[in-house]
Structure 1
Amino acid sequence: MPTASKTTAAPPKRAPGRGPGRGLFAPVTAWLTRPLASFHLLLAVFGLLTVFGLVMVLSASSVDSYSQAGTSYSVFGRQVLYCLVGLVLFYLALCIPVRLIRRYSMALLGVCLAMLALVLTPLGEEINGARSWFSLGGISVQPVEFAKIAFALWGAHVLVTKRGLLGQYRHLLVPVVPAALLMFALVMLQPDLGSTITLFIVLLGLLWFVGAPMRLFAVLALGGVTGTLALAVIEDYRMARLTVFLDPSADPTGNGYQSMQALYALADGGLFGQGLGQGWSKWQYLPYAHNDFIFAVIGEELGFLGCAVVLGLFALTAYVGMRIARRNTDPWIRIVAATLTLWTVSQAVINMGYVVGMLPITGLPLPLISSGGSSVVSSMLVFGLLANFARHEPEAIAALRSLGPGRVGRLLRLPTPDPYRPPAKRRPARPSTPPSRPATKASGAKATRRGTGKARAQGARSGPGSRAQTRGGHR
């Protein structure tokens, strides 16, 4: 008997752009599509940066602490205390409703401006030639760190409130730019050029993310560079920093000593480093090893790989911060999240840039890693705000309201966020009826004749039946 021929099905064609390596990232891509992925990713980055910073502060400050206090844990103990205070502010920023933060942003800015003015009085403490701190029971507080956050919150509130008028320069620039200039002046009276630069970055972030025209940024950039050069020329120590940046080896034992020692520490680290706690730069070779130049200690003890981990963590911070801003629908949250992310990452880039010799020394700390009270507390406050904004993504709100708070929410007793409701559009006001003019004698007579004529016409149309009914009604 003839056998039926078997037909073999053709193999399915591979979809274009779906290579074999695409499957390696499938679990990561699937995880990032979850509603609370931004929130959990931010918590992970925050925890890693905090723990890494504490470990490196302990390693970088042990020698200095022992030589000054007789114990290797004095600086580390203060850093742990600062982290505990920062965790409290992190939790408060995570729990407070967003509408309250926006409502009281003006009050927060007013308090910060008052603190910036008071620090210039004898109430402030002068450290390293700058009157920038308040000393409270042995703990120093630098108000400019919190003024940056308050300015971002208030500036975004003003720009969102006036978003229908931002096509006009006077509404775009006033009152945000005058308030920024006032803060610049108060900070430069301390003087603190590094903090002024970061405040300028916050201003640029606000204007950029609200959609200001590009020509405005060209003018601001020109003014910023001109102002920085002018401030550098009028002070000898700033001019020395600029000269050292151009040629650190010109004065290796004087003004270029710190920059050269940082480069030596990074060179000694190599690829894998000398080992945690085994670096030599902290033995009084590198000034401020646990503050401004802790990145050099990281490079010396953990090598290029340790520096790459720090770079990766801040790159991940930039990604998750911008992701939170992009996925939110509230315009105020979008601007604040993007601006705070830009400020945090830019400060990290500036710190690492002057350690490796690519930027002039500004004295800005590395967020969450350098030792210091105000810096680590304000950085934790920023991460708390970003975490709060992450829970206000539309998909996150829907998941939290339908499925419950989840394990992290139950553990931290976090409130369920409210959905974003855009402000109701105002209806155009209806034109009011113009007042009637007082009737004159002529107009009154005309109206009387007009009314009499109308009554006669209606009587003629109604006919005799109508008049009979009327008479009947009178009877």
Structure 2
Amino acid sequence: MATSTPTRPHPGPADDGDGRRGLAARVSLGKVFAPVPSEFYLIASTAILLTGFGLVMVLSATTATSTALGESPFDALLKQGVFAVIGIPLMFIASRFPIRFWKRVAWPLLILTVLFQLLVFTPLGIEVYGNRNWIGIAGYTVQPAEFLKLGLALWVGYVLYRKQTLLGLWRHVFIPLVPVAIAVVATVMAGRDLGTAMILVLIVLGGLFFSGVRLRIFIIPLLLGAAVVAYYAVASPNRLRRIMSFMDPNCDYFDDCYQPLHGVFGLAGGGVFGLGLGNSKEKYDWLPAAANDYIFAIVGEELGLIGAVLVLLLFTLFAVGAFHVIRKTDDRFVRIVSGGITVWIVGQALINIGVVLRVFPVLGVPLPFMSQGGTSLLSVLIASGVLLSFARSLPMRARG
């Protein structure tokens, strides 16, 4: 009697080592209405509220100057709105990607964002107030360094995650982290953008801090980062003069202190309840960068102390949601990247507000979600999507 030989199943794609098939990370869309932790709602809602608040303030801050130039008062709003309409869906799309995907794109994304940043040194590059960190594409001005922040945060998290058992040895902490980070920061400093370079340094330091490296090892990169920033601050006499002007009681009103003082005038003029939305006086070409780096001054002038506190409260709630992700996760990669992104967004907000209050010198960093600038808005929304992706991964026992 003949026996039939069992047929072998058709060989499938090779296993990638963690029980998943295929070399590419697959995006699991899951159930649209699947339950998500409270951290997800907190981060998403504050990001959307800050973005909407920012659109209103950009419109208010630009109507006067746009009308004076014979342009539509809604031009700035429409340009910013395009990036908001693109960025918010991208935030939720990014939230659907698994952690495995973010680990696999860390290196490629850093390389791509560095190459994108290097375009500022091509004929596409645009120089603004001595800084060459923008490029012109299809009528839009794009700042590649904003995407570099996200690429660096993911890369730092991946490198430190892969070396998690070796972080007690300083050489494994430094290589390749410090040389690559210095090279990345150098691409920005070559365009003389000290403010963005400082944020990149903060991202690296934030990643190191949340990776759990020993304090004695962490202090060395901290001092090295401070030394690099200090060197570039004093390397240019003009930059040093502008940075130190906030400490000079006799600072020239018509030169270095014109913008900082008008920022304070705007905040002081608003009082507790503000002059009313749209009633700012400083936006009538008195305050340079009213819709950009100094938009918080317009918030304080038009909406008063109440509006300013509301902005601070929204950023606080965003930070609470992000820190809950850091505290509750069991994945070191998630903890490190979440820490870097949180230090970037919340730290940049505090620096921007501190500049307006004259606690810090003028550094030229925008207020996340709110300042006019489509690239900045797009990058922080996508970064928020990464945080939302991590929030979805929280273990069930931590979701209570």
Q: TM class, shorter-chain normalised?
A: 0.7 to 0.9
Structure 2 equivalent of residue 271 of structure 1:
272
Q: Would you say the 8 A contact 2:48–2:88 is kept in 1?
A: no
Q: C-alpha offsets along residues 214-251 of structure 1, whole Å, 9 cap, x if unaligned?
A: 23343333333333333222213311212311126421
Shift of 1:35: 6.0
Structure 1 equivalent of residue 37 of structure 2:
36
Q: Would you say the 8 A contact 2:205–2:222 is kept in 1?
A: no
Structure 2 equivalent of residue 187 of structure 1:
188
Identical amino acids, percent of aligned pairs: 39
Structure 1 equivalent of residue 117 of structure 2:
116
Structure label with greater radius of gyration: 1
Structure 1 equivalent of residue 329 of structure 2:
328
List aligned pairs for 1:169-184, cutoff 5 A. 169-184=170-185
Q: Would you say the 8 A contact 2:243–2:363 is kept in 1?
A: no
Structure 2 equivalent of residue 262 of structure 1:
263
| Equivalent pairs, count | 366
Structure 2 equivalent of residue 57 of structure 1:
58
Structure 2 equivalent of residue 5 of structure 1:
none
List aligned pairs for 1:287-366, cutoff 5 A. 287-366=288-367
Shift of 1:354: 0.6
C-alpha change, 1:119 and 1:287, in structure 2 (3 Å) is same
- Distance in 2 between residues matched to 1:353 and 1:262, nearest whole Å: 11
- Distance in 1 between residues matched to 2:283 and 2:397, nearest whole Å: 45
- Distance in 1 between residues matched to 2:398 and 2:251, nearest whole Å: 58
C-alpha change, 1:206 and 1:377, in structure 2 (3 Å) is same
C-alpha change, 1:115 and 1:70, in structure 2 (3 Å) is closer
- Distance in 1 between residues matched to 2:106 and 2:344, nearest whole Å: 18
Q: C-alpha offsets along residues 158-188 of structure 1, whole Å, 9 cap, x if unaligned?
A: 1111111111111111111111000111111
List aligned pairs for 1:108-187, cutoff 5 A. 108-187=109-188
C-alpha change, 1:141 and 1:175, in structure 2 (3 Å) is same
User: In structure 1, the residue corresponding to 2:127 is in which secondary structure?
Assistant: strand
Q: C-alpha offsets along residues 402-453 of structure 1, whole Å, 9 cap, x if unaligned?
A: xxxxxxxxxxxxxxxxxxxxxxxxxxxxxxxxxxxxxxxxxxxxxxxxxxxx
Residue 156 of structure 1 aligns to which amino acid in structure 2? Answer: G
Structure 2 equivalent of residue 214 of structure 1:
215
- Distance in 2 between residues matched to 1:165 and 1:216, nearest whole Å: 12
Residue 278 of structure 1 aligns to which amino acid in structure 2? Answer: N
C-alpha change, 1:70 and 1:396, in structure 2 (3 Å) is farther
Q: Would you say the 8 A contact 1:249–1:260 is kept in 2?
A: no
Residue 168 of structure 1 aligns to which amino acid in structure 2? Answer: L
User: In structure 1, the residue corresponding to 2:264 is in which secondary structure?
Assistant: helix
Q: Once structures 1 and 2 are overlaid, which stretch shifts more, 81-90 or 362-371?
A: 81-90
Q: Would you say the 8 A contact 2:120–2:126 is kept in 1?
A: yes
Residue 307 of structure 2 aligns to which amino acid in structure 1? Answer: G
C-alpha change, 1:35 and 1:70, in structure 2 (3 Å) is closer
C-alpha change, 1:337 and 1:225, in structure 2 (3 Å) is closer
Structure 2 equivalent of residue 243 of structure 1:
244
Shift of 1:122: 2.3
C-alpha change, 1:221 and 1:164, in structure 2 (3 Å) is closer
Q: C-alpha offsets along residues 332-351 of structure 1, whole Å, 9 cap, x if unaligned?
A: 11211122111100000000
**TM-score, length-scaled by structure 2:** 0.88
**TM-score, length-scaled by structure 1:** 0.74
Q: Would you say the 8 A contact 1:248–1:260 is kept in 2?
A: no
- Distance in 2 between residues matched to 1:67 and 1:95, nearest whole Å: 45
Residue 374 in structure 1 maps to residue 393 in structure 2: no
Q: Once structures 1 and 2 are overlaid, which stretch shifts more, 91-100 or 163-172?
A: 91-100
Residue 229 of structure 1 aligns to which amino acid in structure 2? Answer: A
C-alpha change, 1:321 and 1:78, in structure 2 (3 Å) is same
User: In structure 2, the residue corresponding to 1:40 is in which secondary structure?
Assistant: helix
User: In structure 2, the residue corresponding to 1:146 is in which secondary structure?
Assistant: helix
Shift of 1:398: 9.0
Residue 80 of structure 1 aligns to which amino acid in structure 2? Answer: G
Shift of 1:155: 1.3
User: In structure 2, the residue corresponding to 1:42 is in which secondary structure?
Assistant: helix
User: In structure 2, the residue corresponding to 1:134 is in which secondary structure?
Assistant: strand
Q: Would you say the 8 A contact 2:168–2:214 is kept in 1?
A: no
Residue 390 of structure 1 aligns to which amino acid in structure 2? Answer: A
Q: Once structures 1 and 2 are overlaid, which stretch shifts more, 71-80 or 91-100?
A: 91-100
Q: Would you say the 8 A contact 2:39–2:325 is kept in 1?
A: yes
Structure 2 equivalent of residue 445 of structure 1:
none
- Distance in 2 between residues matched to 1:50 and 1:290, nearest whole Å: 14
- Distance in 1 between residues matched to 2:278 and 2:399, nearest whole Å: 47
Q: Once structures 1 and 2 are overlaid, which stretch shifts more, 225-234 or 54-63?
A: 225-234
C-alpha change, 1:303 and 1:232, in structure 2 (3 Å) is same
Residue 255 of structure 1 aligns to which amino acid in structure 2? Answer: D
- Distance in 1 between residues matched to 2:249 and 2:315, nearest whole Å: 27
- Distance in 1 between residues matched to 2:119 and 2:48, nearest whole Å: 34
Q: CA RMSD in A?
A: 1.8
- Distance in 1 between residues matched to 2:249 and 2:380, nearest whole Å: 31
List aligned pairs for 1:13-92, cutoff 5 A. 36-92=37-93
User: In structure 2, the residue corresponding to 1:384 is in which secondary structure?
Assistant: helix
Q: C-alpha offsets along residues 4-37 of structure 1, whole Å, 9 cap, x if unaligned?
A: xxxxxxxxxxxxxxxxxxxxxxxxxxxxxx9621
- Distance in 1 between residues matched to 2:78 and 2:58, nearest whole Å: 10
User: In structure 1, the residue corresponding to 2:165 is in which secondary structure?
Assistant: helix
C-alpha change, 1:117 and 1:396, in structure 2 (3 Å) is farther
C-alpha change, 1:257 and 1:113, in structure 2 (3 Å) is same
**Uncovered stretches (5+) of structure 1, i.e. residues with no partner:** 1-33, 400-475
Q: Would you say the 8 A contact 1:391–1:397 is kept in 2?
A: no
- Distance in 1 between residues matched to 2:112 and 2:322, nearest whole Å: 27
Residue 329 of structure 1 aligns to which amino acid in structure 2? Answer: D
Give runs of ≥4 in structure 1 deviating > 4 Å: 396-399
Q: C-alpha offsets along residues 301-329 of structure 1, whole Å, 9 cap, x if unaligned?
A: 11111110111111111111010121122
- Distance in 1 between residues matched to 2:371 and 2:131, nearest whole Å: 19
Q: C-alpha offsets along residues 121-142 of structure 1, whole Å, 9 cap, x if unaligned?
A: 2232222222211211111221
